[in-house]
């Protein structure tokens, strides 16, 4: 092949550069390290931490949050295996910069500067257990993690997944009150898996696409405290008494259905990761200032006489900026509400006194 004289001069210059002793030395010693790369993770976006990131929920949730274009930094914290999960997720070619943090000594670094903290840390149920049976272990885990949040990112929005949610949210609130950082709007119990299940099961009964269905689910996140409002389903529809009994029972026991099917290998992880990722995205869009974002969540509430209750909330820059009332209930739902409140009051009290005692 013939080169023009200009091209051959350029080729000679490049060739000389490539064979220069300096470049050869650099190649041999591989001086460039990741920490010296030019990327500093300073892209616009939100900083999100997942605590319990190596678990059954934490891992798929880490993957889904890494795919969210609103996220610029993703911190993955756990007491085991988080460096591996972080290395794995960090190779996805999406915008968020991923860092792993392992064990209590790294909790503060994991939390500092975060806008949103998602907590799926703690033990899951096995067949025969109630969510309340998890209280003994998970209450202490949630307390420690929330103490870290109060210290390192007191203004972060907190999405609390760890069970029993009906008690862990009151625990978190008490920890934040003690630290003087409590903002009720910023503490949200994640109950939207109940909504996803309700949408799915109702769609199955009606023979329509679940994406077209919206079922408000209020109360709490355990057994009879999970109260689907089938009289308020969108699109507007009616159910037979049989269908109402079937749907209410299936939605209230959706978690147990998964626990039994997994036969000792844990509880819902993939559907929960999907739900938590959707909920986190809604919180981030709220933080960004998007209008009209409404989700069900277990929050500080004046909708009933109880201090915490799950209902529809409007998400905004401050978190749950508006808590919506329940709206008109059927007689069946009014009866269900009384049952839900009876159990909820005990669970809330248990959480509060765990910190106050």
Ligand X SMILES: O=C([O-])CC(=O)C(=O)O
Ligand Y SMILES: NC(=O)C1=CN([C@@H]2O[C@H](COP(=O)(O)OP(=O)(O)OC[C@H]3O[C@@H](n4cnc5c(N)ncnc54)[C@H](O)[C@@H]3O)[C@@H](O)[C@H]2O)C=CC1
Among the listed residues 70, 198, 259, 352, the single contact to ligand X using CB under 6 A: 259
Among the listed residues 47, 66, 99, 125, the single contact to ligand X using CB under 6 A: 125
Q: Does 72 bind ligand Y (CB under 6 A)?
A: no
Least separation in angstroms between CB 191 and ligand Y: 6
- Choose the catalytic residue: 19, 75, 91, 221: 221
Which of ligand Y, ligand X, none interacts with 161 (beta carbon under 5 to 8 A by kind)? ligand Y
Which of ligand X, ligand Y, none interacts with 78 (beta carbon under 5 to 8 A by kind)? ligand Y
Which residue do the tokens 């329940």 mark? Answer: 326
Task: Write the secondary structure of the chain as one string of H (helix), E (strand) and C (coil).
Answer: CCCCHHHHHHHHHHHHHHCCHHHHHHHHHCCCCHHHCCCCCCCCCEEEEEECCCCCCHHHHHHHHHCCCCEEEEEEEECCCHHHHHHHHHCCCCCCEEEEEECHHHHHHHHCCCCEEEECCCCCCCCCCCHHHHHHHHHHHHHHHHHHHHHHCCCCEEEECCCCHHHHHHHHHHHHHHHCCCCHHHEEECCHHHHHHHHHHHHHHHCCCHHHCECCEEECCCHHHEEECHHHCECCCCCCHHHHHHHHHHHHCHHHHHHHHHCCCCCCCHHHHHHHHHHHHHHHHHHHCCCCEEEEEEEECCCCCCCEEEEEEEEECCEEEEECCCCCCCHHHHHHHHHHHHHHHHHHHHHHHHHHC
Among the listed residues 59, 159, 267, 301, the single contact to ligand X using CB under 6 A: 267
Q: Does 61 bind ligand X (CB under 6 A)?
A: no
Residue 119, annotated as binding a ligand: no
Q: Which residues of 113-135 are buried (b: 16+ CB within 10 A; e: fewer)?
A: ebbbbbbbbbbbbbeeeebbebb
Which of ligand Y, ligand X, none interacts with 94 (beta carbon under 5 to 8 A by kind)? none
Q: Does 122 bind ligand Y (CB under 6 A)?
A: yes
Residues 66-105 as x/- pattern, contact with ligand X by CB under 6 A? ----------------------------------------
Residue 58, annotated as binding a ligand: yes
Pick 124 or 286: Cβ nearer ligand X: 124
Stretch that binds ligand X, among 77-85, 92-100, 201-209, 251-259 (CB under 6 A): 251-259
Query: How many other β-carbons are positioned within 10 Å of the β-carbon of residue 307?
Result: 17
Respond yes or no: is residue 221 known to be catalytic: yes
Among the listed residues 123, 179, 206, 345, the single contact to ligand Y using CB under 6 A: 123
Q: Does 85 bind ligand Y (CB under 6 A)?
A: no
Which of ligand X, ligand Y, none interacts with 259 (beta carbon under 5 to 8 A by kind)? ligand X
Least separation in angstroms between CB 229 and ligand X: 18
Which of ligand X, ligand Y, none interacts with 141 (beta carbon under 5 to 8 A by kind)? ligand Y
Stretch that binds ligand X, among 86-94, 180-188, 243-251, 256-264 (CB under 6 A): 256-264
Crossing angle (nearest 10°) for helices 165-179 and 135-152 = 30
Of the candidates 160, 156, 125, the one whose C-alpha atom is nearest the C-alpha of residue 141 is: 160
Q: Whose CB is nearest to ligand Y?
A: 55
Q: Does 187 bind ligand Y (CB under 6 A)?
A: no
Q: Is 91 exposed, middle or buried (0-12, 13-18, 19+ CB in 10 A)?
A: exposed
Q: Does 162 bind ligand Y (CB under 6 A)?
A: yes
Q: State the catalytic residues.
A: 221
Q: Annotated binding site for substrate, which residues?
A: 125, 131, 163, 197
Chain residues that interact with ligand Y, rule: CB under 6 A: 51-52, 54-58, 78-80, 120-125, 134, 138, 141, 144-145, 161-163, 165, 190, 193, 221, 266-269, 272
Site residues (vs ligand X, CB under 6 A) = 124-125, 131, 163, 193, 255-256, 258-259, 267-268
Annotated binding site for NAD(+): 52-58, 78, 138, 161-163, 272
């Amino acid at each position: 092949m013939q080169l023009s004289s200009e091209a051959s001069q350029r080729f000679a210059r490049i060739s000389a550069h490539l064979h220069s002793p300096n470049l050869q030395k650099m190649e041999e010693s591989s001086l460039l390290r990741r920490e010296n790369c030019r990327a500093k993770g300073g892209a616009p976006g939100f900083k999100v931490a997942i605590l319990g990131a190596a678990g059954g929920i934490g891992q798929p949730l880490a993957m889904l949050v890494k795919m969210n274009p609103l996220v610029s930094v993703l911190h993955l914290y756990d007491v085991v295996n988080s460096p591996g999960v972080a290395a794995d997720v960090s190779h996805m070619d999406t915008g968020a910069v991923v860092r792993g943090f392992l064990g209590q000594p790294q909790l503060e670094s994991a939390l500092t500067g975060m806008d949103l903290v998602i907590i799926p840390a703690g033990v899951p149920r096995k067949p025969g257990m109630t969510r309340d049976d998890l209280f003994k272990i998970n209450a202490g885990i949630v307390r420690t993690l929330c103490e870290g949040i109060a210290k390192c990112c007191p203004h972060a929005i907190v999405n609390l997944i760890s069970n029993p949610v009906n008690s862990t949210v009151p625990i978190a609130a008490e920890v934040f009150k003690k630290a003087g950082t409590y903002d009720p709007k910023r503490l949200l119990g994640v109950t939207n898996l109940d909504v996803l299940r309700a949408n799915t099961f109702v769609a199955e009964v009606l023979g329509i696409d679940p994406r077209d269905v919206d079922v408000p689910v209020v109360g709490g996140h355990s057994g009879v405290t999970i109260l689907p409002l089938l009289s308020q389903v969108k699109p507007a529809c009616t159910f037979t008494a049989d269908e109402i009994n079937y749907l209410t029972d299936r939605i209230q026991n959706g978690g147990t259905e998964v626990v039994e099917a997994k036969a000792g290998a844990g509880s819902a992880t993939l559907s929960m990761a999907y739900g938590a990722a959707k909920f986190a995205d809604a919180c981030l869009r709220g933080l960004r200032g998007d209008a009209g974002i409404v989700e069900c969540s277990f929050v500080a509430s004046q909708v009933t006489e109880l201090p915490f209750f799950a209902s529809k909330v409007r998400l905004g820059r401050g978190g749950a900026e508006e808590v919506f009332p329940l709206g008109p209930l059927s007689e069946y739902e009014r009866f269900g509400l009384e049952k839900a409140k009876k159990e909820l009051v005990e669970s809330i009290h248990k959480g509060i006194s765990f910190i106050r005692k």
